[in-house]
Structure formats: structure tokens, C-alpha cells
Structure 1
Amino acid sequence: MKFGFKFEKILGLKEKLEDNKKNEMAIISNSIRDLESEISKMEEMKRERYDMLEEILMSGASITDIKKLSYSIECSDVSIERLQQKLSSLRESFNYKKTEYLEVMKERKSFEKLKEKHIDEFKHIIKLKEEKALDQINTFRIRGTS
């Protein structure tokens, strides 16, 4: 007698879906790390420009140079803000994917528990059949020796 789990295909699909969600989370997580690194670099550039601005203000630079550097700092602020919004969006997306992943994982575990239950029931049925067969053999032996 061979065991067959009637929901095996569904369990397989849940496992594949879980792997897909995990991969999607990894991709978003890598994007988040890359974006955080980019923001950090932009903030460092902005600090360097502030330092340059302080230096040229102390040295008595021209208004044009001061305006250029101030404009560059403002552009950095805009870029950083845009990147932070993108980062926020990615984090929301990651949280959504994480929720989806946890739900799929929960569903997969439910099917695995159901499969384990079916396996236990199958083993129990096999054991009962074996016991019945042994009883029949013993009955034939007793009849044969009488």
C-alpha cells in the first residue's frame, strides 16, 4: 500500500510561493541597503560642502562662489529628501512582502501538519492491516495443527 497525500501539489505550490516571497524580500532588502548607503554618501558630500562653504566664507570668497556652493547644498538636500522618500517606500514594500511571506509560511506549515496527520493515519491503517494478517495467519496455524 502506497501513501499519497492528496494536497501534495498545493503543498509544493506553497513551498515555491514561500521561496518566491523570501527572494522578493531579499531583493528589496538589498535595495534598502544600497539606498541607505547612497543616502549616507550624499549626506557626507553635503557635510563636505558645508565645510567648504565655511572655509570660503572665512577666506572672503566671491558671492558667485558662495551662491554656487549654497545651491549645491540645496540640491543635495533635495536629493537626500527624494532618496529618503524612496527608502520609506521600499521599507513599506518590504513590510508588505514580509506579511505576505509570513502568511504563505503559515499556510505551508498547515499543509505540512495535515500531511503529517495523514501519514500517521496511514501508518495506523497499515499497522491494523498487519495485525489482522497476523491474526489470520495464527488462525490458519491453529486450524492446521488441530
Structure 2
Amino acid sequence: MSYKFRLQKVLDVKEKAEDNKKNEVYIVNKELLKANEQLQELKLELTQKGIEREEKNKEGISIIEIVQLNKYIDYLCSLIKNKEIEICELNKKLEIKKEEYIESRKERKSYENLKDKDYARYMIKEAKEEEKIIDEIVSFSSRKL
């Protein structure tokens, strides 16, 4: 008789749920990294436009160009603020996904512990049955002699 865990299907579902949560953490983390890269690019462009504005002010620039450059710099600032808000939300989302992953991992481990204990009981039972059979063989052999 081979061992079969009676809750194996539940354990399989828990393992699949854990994998799904792990993938969700990976996806949100990837989104967060991308958002951080975009933020750095925006900040770099803002710095470059600030330097460009200073240089053009020294050279002499028309009012229209100053207004356009200032509007673009304001636009970059608003993009940066929006990106920072997005990053904050992604950080919160990542923490939630991590907690969900940890919880699903705990559930899977509890079922694995049940499986281990059940298997240990099964092995003890098998050993006792084997011992019983050996005792019967020995007692049968001693009766024949």
C-alpha cells in the first residue's frame, strides 16, 4: 500500500496560490522599478532644462522663449509630482502583495507540516504492520518445529 495524503489537492491549491502571489509581488516590484527609472529620467530632464534656462538667460533670450521654457519646466514638475504619487501607491501595493504572499506561504507550510506528520504516522503504522507480519511468520515457523 502506497502513501497518499488525503489533503493533497488542498496542498496543491495552496502551492498554486503561493506561486500566484509570488508572481504578483514580482510584477508590482517590476512596475515600481520602472516608475523609479522614469522619475530619475524626469528629474534629470528637469535639471537639464534648469541649466538650459540659466544659460539662455545669460545669453539673452526672448520673453516668449522664457515663457515656453518655464511652462515646460512647470510641466516637468507636475509630472514628477504625479510620478512620486504613483511610486508611493506602488510601494503600498507592494507591501500588501508581500503580506498576501507571506500569508499564502504560511498556509502552504501548515499543510506541508500536516503532510509530514501524516506521513510519519503512516510510516509508524507500516512498521507496526510489518513487525506484526514478521512475528506471525516467526510464530508460525516455531510451531512447525
| TM-score bin, normalised by smaller chain | over 0.9
The equivalent residue for 2:125 is: 125
Distance 1:123 1:8 in 2: 17
TM-score calculated relative to the size of structure 2 = 0.98
Distance 1:90 1:114 in 2: 36
- Show the 5 A alignment for 1:2-13: 2-13=2-13
Q: Secondary structure at the match of 1:61?
A: coil
Q: Secondary structure at the match of 1:57?
A: helix
The equivalent residue for 1:22 is: 22
Structure 2: stretches of 5+ with no match in the other structure = none
Residue by residue over 1:6-56, the C-alpha shift from the partner in whole angstroms, topping out at 9 and shown as x without a partner, is: 111110001000000111111111111111111111111100100011011
Distance 1:104 1:7 in 2: 16
Distance 1:74 1:83 in 2: 14
| CA-CA distance at 1:2 after TM superposition | 2.2
Distance 1:31 1:97 in 2: 13
The equivalent residue for 2:140 is: 140
**Does 2:59 match 1:62?**
no
- Show the 5 A alignment for 1:68-87: 68-87=68-87
Structure 1: stretches of 5+ with no match in the other structure = none
Distance 2:88 2:10 in 1: 35
The equivalent residue for 2:53 is: 53
| CA-CA distance at 1:3 after TM superposition | 1.4
The equivalent residue for 1:95 is: 95
Residue by residue over 1:89-141, the C-alpha shift from the partner in whole angstroms, topping out at 9 and shown as x without a partner, is: 11111110000000000110010011000000000000000000000001001
Q: AA paired with 1:108? A: R
Q: Could you say what the CA RMSD is over the residues aligned between the two structures, in angstroms?
A: 0.7
| CA-CA distance at 1:60 after TM superposition | 1.8
- Show the 5 A alignment for 1:26-45: 26-45=26-45
Identity percentage over the alignment?
Answer: 32
Structure 1 runs of 4+ aligned residues shifted over 2 Å read: none
Q: AA paired with 1:100? A: E
Distance 2:100 2:20 in 1: 11
Q: Which 10-residue stretch deviates more, 126-135 or 84-93? A: 84-93
Count of residue pairs brought into register by the alignment: 145
Distance 2:98 2:7 in 1: 25
